[in-house]
Structure 1
């Protein structure tokens, strides 16, 4: 073997080959990272889509409610593409997750520390107690009333508060929501909670505050409706607390 050939082989083995291997490893790593990024994007989009659907169905997204891709896959493993089936799957998910202990741990404990709710706690506790006893027809109107009272306290509102004023306050709070769900939340409030009614006529909402409080809706008492209202109550509570902090920092 000539010395030139030996030198070339040496150069290849000692210099070029390590570099080739390095580049191969680099491209493999890049490929893996790209695949990982695609997987993360898929998971993120799947979870965000799930949260969006939940919000559209009246379950405002809550920070405590983490769901993994594996849970999501299991949740929809037998899904056949039916819209009513999606609603049933999501209802079942929330009903299973929101048991008595979950509500006490994730919601009531925080509310008990809040000055703004201190004079309302005995009423809120009774609402939750009714929920625990499956007395949803009682639990829901009680929580609705405290939602409005909390908003009045949050804005230091004095005197009569019209429906228009309440709507303005709540939309103001929802518009301060720093999330991609802002539009859906506002839509849920205006198109579900604020829906009007006429006695002895079909009600175009499963959770119309007006129809419930004025006795037109006699079908609202479900566990999922209480959970939806509870989530909305907590969302508004959090926005009020944030506004108070902002005012304190001015």
Structure 2
């Protein structure tokens, strides 16, 4: 390829793919961070909390691999590899759009689903549920779904789970009851909803950012591929 303009596109596409490769690493990191934050509370939504960050990690890994394809295709001026690169970006973009639409629909129903799931778990009071509630109340320093009163009728004689009160030392926990002065007052539902929405906004922001990068990559790859085809037909 002799044209200065096409050489500029080639190296611009190569530079773009280096950024794209780094964005793949960033997406994997963001997915891992969100996964680490929501995993301890996964019991209450039966795996649904883990799906978005896991999808993000998978997409980030695919982007990382595709970036190598784009770099090689640009430097080697390989028409087939550039078209494959552009098609792969289109597919990823469409998948992200579908996930975004599903997330927007689910977001409206999410608070009600979360609250119901928390209440169902609290009322079941199985060993697994007890452990999950102990973990969430200690981790978030909260008590009950909407208040400590949610434990009425579940715990005997106005007592509360020990996780509703602060740990006194490394080995023991104060007795905890409705009348204790040190009971956690925050509602677990409100704190957990805030955490999940915060992480959802992070995922959405990362998704929007990478979508713009993908569109730029598709345009550059197609321009370079067409220029290569024109040169080959001369």
TM-score by length of 2: 0.28
* Higher helix content, 1 or 2: 2
Bigger Cα Rg: 1
TM-score by length of 1: 0.27
